[in-house]
Amino acid sequence: MSSINVSIKQMLVNVKSCTHCLAHLPHGVRPVLQVGARAKVLIAGQAPGSRVHASGTPFDDPSGARLRAWMGVDKDIFYDPEKVAILPMGFCYPGKGTSGDLPPRAECAVLWRAQLLAMMPNIELTLLVGRYAINWHLPELKKQSLTNTVKAWKNHWPHHLPIPHPSPRNNIWLTKNDWFEAEVIPPLQQRIQGLLA
């Protein structure tokens, strides 16, 4: 077993036992993430929702079903940490706000993100799912709208792909922007196939 794998295992123990934000999490701590030293694809999401908090499985909800369809992968590939890493901006469910879930807690990125990313040197494609992940990974795009950021996806390809969140809450955006599934999804699936075949 390599030292990187041992380090990741120890880091996961540390992350899973983190209570740094406990006072701010109405449903308690339950970090949900998936990391592997040999992963080639990274999904940088936002934060677990209530269903994922309950199951402890990342993207175990309608958003995950749509994301897997966009990627063109089944659950066996999606949940193999040595192929696909899943590292949300916040690891625990932040609770409900007035218009959906609250933003991910910022502490996770400060405490853990750089360390975990350094332990996954084989990442070749990062899917930036939603505004919080885009802002962290591509901070120069903070002032751009999500639509304009996604429209300019080729500027960051083939290493990063900014995408809207696959939540059913974004059905209206996807309907208004049908170019996304027509133009972006085919090259995404081709790249995923090339990386994970």
Note the pLDDT tens digit of each residue in 64-83.
999 999 999 999 999 999 99
The model's pLDDT over 146-169, given as tens digits with 9 standing for 90+, comes to 999 999 999 999 999 999 999 999
From the list 169, 94, 111, 165, the residue with the least C-alpha distance to 134 is 165
- In the 8-state DSSP scheme, what is residue 130? S
pTM value surpassing 0.85: yes
Query: Is residue 36 a contact partner of residue 79, using CB atoms and an 8 Å limit?
Result: no
Tokens standing for residue 75: 């659950």
> Mean pLDDT score of the chain, rounded to an integer?
94
Residue 118: enclosing H or E segment and its boundaries? helix 114-118
From the list 91, 124, 113, the residue with the least C-alpha distance to 25 is 91
Domains of the chain: 3-196 (3.40.470.10)
Report residue 92's pLDDT band, with 50, 70 and 90 as the boundaries.
very high
Q: For 11-38, what is the mean pLDDT?
A: 94
